[in-house]
Homo-oligomer: A and B are copies of this chain.
Amino acid sequence: MTDRLYLFDTTLRDGQQTQGVQFSASEKTQIALALDALGVDYIEGGWPGANPTDSEFFASAPQTRATMTAFGMTKRSGRSAENDEVLAGVVNAETPAVCLVGKTHDFHVTTALGISLEENLENIRASIAHLGAKGREALFDAEHFFDGYKANPDYALKAVHAAYGAGARWIVLCDTNGGTLPADVYRMTKAVIDSGIPGDHLGIHCHDDTGNAVANSLAAIDAGARQVQGTLNGLGERCGNTNLVTLIPTLLLKEPYKATLKTGVSDESLHGLLKTSRMLDDILNRVPLRSAPYIGASAFAHKAGLHASAILKDPSTYEHIPPETVGNARVIPMSNQAGQSNLRARLVSAGIEVAAGDPALGRILDAVKAREDQGYAYDGAQASFELLARRELGLSPAFFEVQRYRVTVERRADRVTMSEAVVEVKIGAEKMMSVSDSLDEAGSDRGPVNALSKALAKDLGPYQAVIDDLHLVDFKVRITQGGTEAVTRVIIDSEDGQGRRWSTVGVSANIVDASFEALLEAVNWKLIRDVGQP
């Protein structure tokens, strides 16, 4: 027998409380549709009336299978639910469900609201009953429930029972300040169930202030709660909310949840999890967290040599799930700790088979070591590693040759900076020269590396079409040690229209030179993929 577990996403409401995050209404629509495709049950879209963006979003909210939910707060004292204009703003959004936050911690009732404890209970009852009268599914966010229960269990229970008795479909226990630990969440959720609110009417809403948001959510589910709230990528106030991108695979793939619970997320939509996570990073222009559970770029990266050799025999030796389940992939990074088995595994994942014991393996390892001594780093630049290995294996086609480049940056007082690059390339017997500035559409100068990149991409003769969809998405610079002197290491992340993403490295005492090397590597890697042989 399986229980239905409901997923409630609040990326568009609590996620918007993240420092530096401000979604537009159209971004909210894009995220809502992605959440719907993933299979969440509720989408909390914002607080209608609280700000123009949220009102605009609800005015033309997308059609979703998931229940669209408006957020607000219980009515204030001294007026009826019908006459509270803040509550009216929420109800007027005409969503099928409404979630109202209310106080359950006595200290907050008296300190923050300055009203009597009984008055607060009455505000909860009247507000929830009002939603029922308007035909809405009512949810009650029990703010500071766990802190409240610690301070005054009797009052905290009275508050959630006021909402439940008034007809709330869900009572959501909120760890608003994020300081509660899993054992306490478990114990207090059990206490609520023991007090008469069944688990299939209980939700859990956690924050990550002690790094336990996911564990706290699991603890509440273990105790019997059957709705869980969270956000994509763990966005949210302060340290963020429960990260649904982390929680969902655990619920679908791990026992006891896999055998005993059912969610609206299918195995197929789970495959799209990585893409959904990256979509949000793209909207926010954030660099995805490499170490993120399940979907991080390093989540299945095996750097230790002993691990890599066992992975070759059986991936389950050092992987807790098959990476493709969540749309991720295995990575065997190169580093000077790696041995030949690491190397062979890494070559296989680049599509290159080399037999064990092949002397080329030793040559590649030596080349990696020599380059790392010069300041190169290959475990963050897989594509450059592949190109290095191909050179040692004689599998490196010469598409083109750069004869010369020159880039000039100039600034005069009170005028914008100007960068201009010239790149001269030889393809076969033919020479071609391209010139480019680095102005973007808004007329600002993007600098010398951008100018070089544009000039190089301007005319690559027969290969032009292949690189038209290539663009730089990230650029990292580090001063490091190359032999006895300080050198600059540049790592460039590139992307193309097919959604491929790859990283290349360049090293030089001259930052422009290092960048240009990484740029050339990025172009060559793509040409090998899309052209094969010249």
Tell me if A69 counts as interface (CB < 8 A to partner B).
Answer: no
Pick from B238, B254, B419: contact of A510, CB below 8 A.
Answer: B419
Interface contact A17-B303, CB-CB below 8 Å: yes
Interface contact B212-A20, CB-CB below 8 Å: no
**A319 contacts which chain B residues (CB < 8 A)?**
177
Pick from B111, B320, B336, B510: contact of A445, CB below 8 A.
Answer: B510
Tell me if A208 counts as interface (CB < 8 A to partner B).
Answer: yes
- Alpha-carbon distance between A50 and B336 when the two chains are bound, in angstroms: 10
A446-B404 contact in complex given A19-B379, A214-B211, A319-B177, C-beta closer than 8 Å = no
Tell me if A396 counts as interface (CB < 8 A to partner B).
Answer: no
Against B, the Cβ 8 Å flags (1 = close, 0 = not) of A102-113 are 000001100110
Interface contact B299-A510, CB-CB below 8 Å: no
Q: What are the 5 A-B residue pairs with the smallest beta carbon separation, nearest first?
A: A179-B320, A215-B215, A447-B510, A477-B477, A211-B246
Q: Which of A175-225 contact B (CB under 8 A)?
A: 176-179, 181-183, 208-212, 214-216, 218-219, 222
10 pairs, CB–CB < 8 Å, chain A vs chain B: A18-B298, A112-B313, A182-B219, A208-B291, A209-B320, A237-B303, A406-B410, A417-B512, A419-B512, A448-B448
Interface contact A285-B511, CB-CB below 8 Å: no
Apart from A211-B250, A476-B479, list 20 A-B contacts with CB within 8 A.
A19-B333, A20-B290, A20-B380, A50-B337, A111-B313, A112-B309, A177-B319, A209-B294, A210-B294, A211-B214, A237-B301, A237-B307, A239-B291, A402-B413, A407-B408, A408-B409, A445-B513, A446-B510, A447-B510, A511-B511
Pick from B177, B247, B300, B337: contact of A51, CB below 8 A.
Answer: B337
Interface centre among A50, A176, A181, A406 (most CB of B within 10 A): A181
**A374 contacts which chain B residues (CB < 8 A)?**
none
- What is the interface size of chain A, counting residues whose CB is below 8 A from a CB of the partner? 120
Tell me if A117 counts as interface (CB < 8 A to partner B).
Answer: no
Tell me if A226 counts as interface (CB < 8 A to partner B).
Answer: no
A510-B417 contact in complex given A210-B214, A412-B404, C-beta closer than 8 Å = yes
**A442 contacts which chain B residues (CB < 8 A)?**
485
- Alpha-carbon distance between A336 and B510 when the two chains are bound, in angstroms: 34
Interface contact B237-A302, CB-CB below 8 Å: yes
- Alpha-carbon distance between A399 and B512 when the two chains are bound, in angstroms: 31
Tell me if A158 counts as interface (CB < 8 A to partner B).
Answer: no
**A447 contacts which chain B residues (CB < 8 A)?**
488, 508-513
Tell me if A167 counts as interface (CB < 8 A to partner B).
Answer: no
Pick from B112, B210, B320: contact of A250, CB below 8 A.
Answer: B210
**A243 contacts which chain B residues (CB < 8 A)?**
211
**A411 contacts which chain B residues (CB < 8 A)?**
404-406, 513, 516
